[in-house]
Amino acid sequence: MRAFSYFSDSGVDVTSLENGTPRKTGESRLALGGICKTRRHKTGTYRASISDQHPGLQERNLQVWLGEIDENTFHNIDDPNSERREKNIFVGLTNLGATCYVNTFLQVWFHNLELRRSLYKCQNSRAQEHNIDSDYEPQSICEHLQYLFALLQNSNRKYIDPSGLVKALGLDTGQQQDAQEFSNLFLSLLEETLSKEKNPNLQNLIQQQFCGQFFYVTICNQCGRSSTLPSRFYELELNIQGHKNLTECITEFLKEEKLDGENRYFCENCQSKQNATRRIRLHSLPPTLNLQLMRFVFDRQTGLKKKLNTFINFPEQLDMEPFLERKLDQKCVYELSAVLIHRGISAYSGHYIAHVKDALTGDWYKFNDEEIEKMEGKKLQLGIEEDIAETGKTQSRKPKCSKGYHCSRNAYMLVYKLQEEESSDSLRTNVEVPSFLQKLVDQDNHKFEEWCMEMANMRKLSVDKGRAKHEEVKELYDLLPAKDGEPYEFIPLDWLKKWLDDSTATKEIDSSIFLCSHGKLHPDKMGEIKRVSLQAAKLLYERYGGGPRLDGSSLCRDCVSERCRVLRLKKQLDEDYKEISNLVKRMPSEGYWVGKASLRSWRQLALEQLEEDDDESRHSNGQTNGQGPHTNNKFGLDVSGGAEDETETFNEDIICNHGGLSILEAERKLVSTEVWTKLREYFPKAPEFPHIQEPCRQCLTLEQEEKDNEAVSKMMALDQKNQLLNLFHEKNRPTLIKWPQGTDRLYIVPLFFVEEWRKFIRRPTKSSPVSNVGNSLLLCPHGGFMFTYDSLINGEAQHIALLWPNEWEVISRLFIVDKPIVIHCVRQTTPDSSTTLYTTQPDLCWECRESFLFQQQRDLREYTQATVYIRKVIEDKMTAKDGTPELNACSSEAEEEREELPKVDGDKDPDFSQSQDGAKRMKLNDSCEASAATTSGTSMIKSGGIRRSTRHRKLRGEKALIVSANQTLKELKIQIMHAFSVAPFDQNLSIDGKGLTDDSATLGSLGVIPECIICLKADEPVTDYAAMDDAYQVRMPEEGFKGTGLLGH
Positions marked catalytic: 100, 351
Cα dihedral across residues 632, 638, 642, 643: positive or negative: negative
Nearest to 56 by CA among 475, 507, 499: 499
Instruction: Label residue 299 exposed, middle or buried (CB < 10 Å: 0-12, 13-18, 19+).
Output: middle
- For the packed helices 179-194 and 141-154, what is the interaxial angle rounded to 10 degrees? 110
What is residue 171's DSSP assignment?
A: -
Q: Which contiguous run of DSSP H or E holds residue 872?
A: strand 866-874
Distance CA 144, CA 140 (A): 6
CA 86/CA 159 separation, integer angstroms: 11
Give the span between the Cα atoms of 368 and 341, in whole angstroms: 10
Q: Position 261: which residue type?
A: G
8-state DSSP, 398: P
CB of 152 within 8 A of CB of 112? Answer: no
Query: Running DSSP on this structure, what letter comes out for residue 1048?
Result: T
Alpha-carbon gap, residue 412 to 340, rounded angstroms: 6
- Rounded to whole angstroms, the Cα distance separating 652 from 639 reads 14
Provide the CA 77 distance to its chain's centre, in angstroms: 34
Q: What is the DSSP letter of 954?
A: P
233 CA to centre of own chain: 47
3-state helix, strand, coil in the chain (%, to 5): 35, 20, 45
Q: Using alpha carbons only, give the angle 81, 87, 89 rounded to the nearest 5 degrees.
A: 105
**832: buried, middle or exposed (CB in 10 Å: 19+, 13-18, 0-12)?**
exposed
Closest CA to 227 of 237, 219, 236: 219
Residue 128, CB half-sphere, CA atoms under 13 Å: how many? Answer: 7
Beta bridge partner(s), residue 244: none
Cis amide leading into 548 (omega within 30)? yes
Query: What is the DSSP secondary structure assignment for residue 508, as one 8-state letter?
Result: P
Q: Which residues pair with 803 in a beta bridge?
A: 747
The closest of 684, 601, 613 to 647, measured between CA atoms, is: 601
Cα–Cα distance for residue pair 1041/1034, rounded to 1 Å:
16
Phi, psi of 71 (to 5 degrees): -65, -20
| Residue whose C-alpha is closest to residue 88's, from 356, 437, 363, 339 | 363
CA-based nearest residue to 303, from 1041, 1016, 1035, 970: 970
DSSP 302: T
Residue type, 191: E
φ, ψ of residue 768 in degrees (nearest 5):
-80, 145
Question: Phi and psi at residue 491, in whole multiples of 5°?
Answer: -120, 135
Grouping H, G, I as helix, E, B as strand and the rest as coil, residue 239 is coil
Vertex 819, ends 818 and 821: CA angle to 5°? 145
CA–CA separation, 364 and 90 (whole Å): 11
Q: Give the C-alpha distances (Å, rounded to integers) separating 288 from 168, 180, 207, 416, 1000.
A: 27, 16, 10, 6, 41
533 and 486 in contact (C-beta within 8 Å)? yes
Give the other-Cβ count within 10 Å of 318's Cβ: 20
